Structure 1
């Protein structure tokens, strides 16, 4: 038993090396036996150890890398299908096609045709929905402060950054013209002058009016002819909800939840559309109040103590006065009386993704809830547009 314990400790480092090895050599004909051999473990123990370490099997990780690389080649090159299959590690193009369709929801040929459509948007939420469909927009509102997730992951892949606050500026018009999109997608009603300008330069416009993210995603998917991909994303999300709900229920039992927003020295009971959807509709957590709608209501510390939630999720405005009061608040005796504080069940939420409402943002909120409440990371690798993967052959 002592020997096995030492193996677990030392293997953790080598497993990270194995993961890096897979990433660098995913185009090679890798096998579990080969990976186990270079890790110094038996095949069966290697598979268990890898999944335990990263919450994902080596097979799933390899498949995600290969399919992700294939998507990039289908989007950005004119290579034949058999060439792409070989470049990403599949010797049989027909097996590759079946594998691709299983993971993405459509065939490589269909994905290639659809991916060639050039899409632009002025909306951060639309960017999230497009990425959920496997589409990189040619122009989008990327900003290191206001859309950090998309900026960090895609600033080298999305060629044109438009102004997030002044959509109909002259500068945005020029940028859009340079990006040469086929379709521009709005999630806020455009002006007549904007529509006239788009028509003049031959850009099709699509206005998405749906209020819930699933319908938004489906409407965009119809516009860009990626209905199968959209449905695949939604189905994968629903499956994740079922699994996360069970894990979180085991960890939190019947605990009550409150979401608070702190601005200056003012506390607000808070619930936006994304929080409502993920926490109280999908995960069916128990809210401290009976309201089943969005709200932003002022609450005193005494009122909060009277409600006394079991768990607190906190959104803190990033300005200096608010951050100063947040530090002060944690030393107040009334604050220390809260059950959530006594039990260490206070969770600080970043504004991103909790203020965004899109398919990608909702998916990230679900992942973050699972991680915060159970300690389990459902998505250790940032592959946000590659979809979910399932068990299968190498």
Structure 2
């Protein structure tokens, strides 16, 4: 019998052990009984953390691992997170046999997939496991029967993986179609053509597209046209008929009706209201003004340099401590700030009409409405919030389908420590625990934030997912900390930018981290690698 380290499709299987276990405390498998033995672990119910040699992570219902002998050198340990877990354990030998001229050649092989995977067809898998387990428990079982039953189980597993891959491929396809529609929004698109391209029926494409984008294909293309129209309207010396033609409308009157329906006000009123030069005294307000459609060229950022955050750090901001002379020289038409600068209100009013927003006592939605009312376009804020809520609901459903009831915790890291954001910290809780309705870990609901000295202290909260905010220049090394759960790296912006634009972009990032991120596992040099903690870097 030969040896090979290739991953191949075996055609000979010897089942060495089958167990169906209910585990309520730590369970250990010290080592494989044979250096060629491979292990399959499948979680039927519950959730647990696992440790495999020096790596580990989380296992949820429907997760399974295929473990090679090399990965079992220091054994496997499972620790239930729920009250108990129901798991299946199969130990086996796999080989590939072929007939040669001088006889049979048999090579030991690894199963063609290794590492951690997820399947949703858990009831079918459970049925095949029970059949295999019943056959194994018989006093006089035969390996031929075991092989047949194992192959049925394995085929069901592979079919489940294929189904997951198809869902991932479909998401990527929908993303590509949506991006193409956005880039060519002035063109005409037919649902039948897009459905044919996607390989779906028109009805299924319509349903899937709306689930992915929160809008029907027609609503999506019309909204993208109006977003482009808004950008063109606030540019200098561009007439409304030119804008209508540029975004795909031959009839300017029909364009005006659609613009008012989607944006909230007629195009001429939108253009007139947003031609003003606006001095901005707080960086978060920039995000509200940009969400309303104000051109960045019409904004005059005036705040302390230490307040600047991405993506506005490249904007040349005056220093407000308090440089009223320079502000007067800029000749703004309007001034917008927060109540933090109330002591200077009289001097500011002498320069231009001034609106001060009660920043800490009102929500970002209130800020958006107040600013829009000041500009005379309150309807634009109402329309923007309508589409934002649609996007939030769609994102909430996609995240729920991906992570279920798993918990999510937000943490900002720096040299020498970190800050945990609790459910009472509005910059985080509004988006994560409000709009997206993910679950906070137990113990974080009673505080706004908690400063810790080491990332190791995050273990106390047993979060399934950790959104770790840190800048590239810091790049905290999380691998030296034995963190449970999945760590998703993200920048400080947009998560800590309390504005309309910040929240909208945070939803997009949440989808990337919690609904679209793939398992951080791979095959390399003939062995599976489990990253501990699982780190997905999307910054």
Fold equivalence (TM over 0.5): yes
2:502 is the alignment partner of 1:351: no
The residue that corresponds to 1:104 in the other structure is 263
SS at match of 2:409: strand
Instruction: Decide whether the 8 Å contact of 2:233 with 2:239 is kept in 1.
Output: no
Give RMSD over aligned pairs: 4.1
Instruction: Decide whether the 8 Å contact of 2:278 with 2:300 is kept in 1.
Output: yes
Instruction: Decide whether the 8 Å contact of 2:277 with 2:332 is kept in 1.
Output: yes
SS at match of 2:345: helix
The residue that corresponds to 2:299 in the other structure is 138
2:432 is the alignment partner of 1:270: no
Deviation at 1:125, TM superposition (A): 0.4
Instruction: Decide whether the 8 Å contact of 1:32 with 1:43 is kept in 2.
Output: no
C-alpha change, 1:269 and 1:99, in structure 2 (3 Å) is same
Instruction: Decide whether the 8 Å contact of 1:75 with 1:115 is kept in 2.
Output: yes
Deviation at 1:284, TM superposition (A): 2.3
Distance in 2 between the 1:61 and 1:144 partners? Answer: 38
2:310 is the alignment partner of 1:148: yes
Instruction: Decide whether the 8 Å contact of 1:51 with 1:57 is kept in 2.
Output: yes
Distance in 2 between the 1:101 and 1:70 partners? Answer: 12
The residue that corresponds to 1:380 in the other structure is none
Instruction: Decide whether the 8 Å contact of 1:280 with 1:287 is kept in 2.
Output: yes
SS at match of 1:148: coil
Normalized per residue, which structure has more helix?
A: 1
The residue that corresponds to 2:484 in the other structure is 339
Kindly indicate whether structure 1 or structure 2 has the higher relative contact order, using CA contacts under 8 Å at least 6 residues apart.
Answer: 1
The residue that corresponds to 1:63 in the other structure is 222
The residue that corresponds to 1:93 in the other structure is 252
Q: Counterparts in 2 of 1:1-394, with a 5 A limit? A: 23=183, 30-32=188-190, 62-77=221-236, 80-136=239-295, 137-140=298-301, 146-150=308-312, 161-163=316-318, 166-170=319-323, 173-174=325-326, 176-190=327-341, 192=343, 194-201=344-351, 203-211=352-360, 212-271=363-422, 272-288=425-441, 289-298=443-452, 300=454, 303-316=457-470, 320=474, 323=475, 326-327=476-477, 329-331=478-480, 335-336=481-482, 338-340=483-485, 345-375=486-516
Deviation at 1:263, TM superposition (A): 2.3
C-alpha change, 1:182 and 1:364, in structure 2 (3 Å) is same
Deviation at 1:67, TM superposition (A): 2.1
Deviation at 1:17, TM superposition (A): 11
Q: Which has the larger radius of gyration?
A: 2
Instruction: Decide whether the 8 Å contact of 1:261 with 1:314 is kept in 2.
Output: yes
The residue that corresponds to 2:146 in the other structure is none
Equivalent pairs counted in the alignment come to: 338
SS at match of 2:256: helix
Deviation at 1:77, TM superposition (A): 4.2
Distance in 2 between the 1:57 and 1:249 partners? Answer: 21
Per-residue deviation, residues 71-99 of structure 1 (Å, max 9, x unmatched): 23432345554443234321112210121
Instruction: Decide whether the 8 Å contact of 2:417 with 2:451 is kept in 1.
Output: no
Distance in 1 between the 2:198 and 2:402 partners? Answer: 35
Gaps of 5+ in 2: 1-168, 518-539
Distance in 1 between the 2:461 and 2:200 partners? Answer: 54
Distance in 2 between the 1:34 and 1:246 partners? Answer: 26
Per-residue deviation, residues 135-191 of structure 1 (Å, max 9, x unmatched): 234312698994332467xx6xxxxx323xx32354x742x3344222100124226
C-alpha change, 1:260 and 1:33, in structure 2 (3 Å) is closer
Distance in 2 between the 1:21 and 1:305 partners? Answer: 44
Distance in 2 between the 1:138 and 1:105 partners? Answer: 22
SS at match of 1:110: helix
Gaps of 5+ in 1: 1-8, 156-160, 377-394
SS at match of 1:228: helix
Distance in 2 between the 1:42 and 1:230 partners? Answer: 36
Deviation at 1:68, TM superposition (A): 3.3
SS at match of 1:354: coil
Instruction: Decide whether the 8 Å contact of 2:302 with 2:320 is kept in 1.
Output: no
The alignment's TM-score, normalised by the length of structure 1, stands at 0.71
C-alpha change, 1:264 and 1:363, in structure 2 (3 Å) is same
Distance in 1 between the 2:394 and 2:251 partners? Answer: 34
